[in-house]
Amino acid sequence: MENQLNQNHSESQTVATEGVAEASATEVKHEATLYAESISHIGSFPVTNALLTSTTAVLIIAVIAVAVRLTLREVPRGIQNFFEVLMEGALNLCDQVTNSRRISTKVFPLALSVFLFILVNNWLGLLPIGGLGIIEVGEHGSAFIPFLRSGTADINTTIALAIMAVISANLFGIFSIGIWKTFNKYVNLKALGSVIIKVRKEPTVLVVAPVTFFVGLLELIGEFAKVASLSFRLFGNVFAGEVLLMAMSKILPFLLPIPFLFLEIFVGLIQALIFSILVLVYFTIAATDHDEHSEHTQSEAHA
């Protein structure tokens, strides 16, 4: 009798355990992850929701650009007036950063493209269609993976944008002031060579030249710091916004997230603007000949 009771008790515990496991398996979790989630595969290539959002952003920008181009008229009217006002204002803003219309006209297309790509990406991640996605069943339960997630909430996207911006700025510097002057910004061989030439007349060059040389090496390290600064600033702000909205929706799903949603719309605009302005700043610095600037300053001082 006692053995039968123990057997029945163990069977009831097994059934209860299976019921808890089934209940936990049917529970669907929706959590923000640092990495983009895979929603499909093309062969062995994983298609993530961040990649899908970024591709959608590119298609939206391309469609708008083609539509605007097809409706261009010599005498602007309708929506063309609106876009021309926006372009003129954006170009004037570039002039305030670069202090040169020549540099602005060359860098403006890239800066505007980066701004639109980041802006559309940021806003697509905020669309109220979070119920569209797939449910992935794993060992620890089921997880909901949305189809759309802001591409800038994926660190891979922001790092790629930052690397593109820094490399493009240095290439722009090479085409603007020459490869030798661009190289000497980072490895200042001219400063070391001045030791031999000026050491008799100016003994202080023995101290100034090595310092100038190491400052150039710091500039080289600064290029890598730019990549980290650009990428982590954008990623951190966008990802934090996603976590904030998810936390607010857990507390009170229908009303509490609304003001934070408008806040994130504004933050998405500001982050796109900051990234684009920093790109303009990097291009302007790269196209500036520091030797000519220092010589001009010295001549003004002697005058």
pLDDT in tens, 143-168: 656 767 888 988 889 999 999 999 99
Q: What is the pLDDT of residue 242?
A: 82
pLDDT per residue over 218-250, tens digit each? Answer: 888 888 999 999 999 999 999 888 888 777 877
Q: 8-22, 77-91, 111-125, 144-158: lowest mean pLDDT where? A: 8-22
Angle at 11 between CA 5 and CA 17, to 5 degrees: 135
The residue that leads in pLDDT, 94 or 212, is 94
Residue 133 predicted with pLDDT over 60: no
Q: Rg (Cα) of the chain, in Å, rounded?
A: 28
pTM of the model: 0.78
pLDDT band at residue 137, thresholds of 50, 70 and 90? low
Per-residue pLDDT of 261-282, as tens digits, reads 888 889 999 999 999 999 999 9
What average pLDDT score do residues 254-258 get? 77
Average predicted confidence (pLDDT) for the chain: 77
Average pLDDT over residues 188-192: 70
Q: Does pLDDT of 184 surpass 50? A: yes
Find the mean pLDDT for residues 31-52.
78
pLDDT of 76 over the 70 cut: yes
- pLDDT surpassing 90 at residue 207: no
| Confidence check: pLDDT of 57 > 70 | yes
Give the lowest-confidence range in 12-26, 174-188, 264-278.
Answer: 12-26
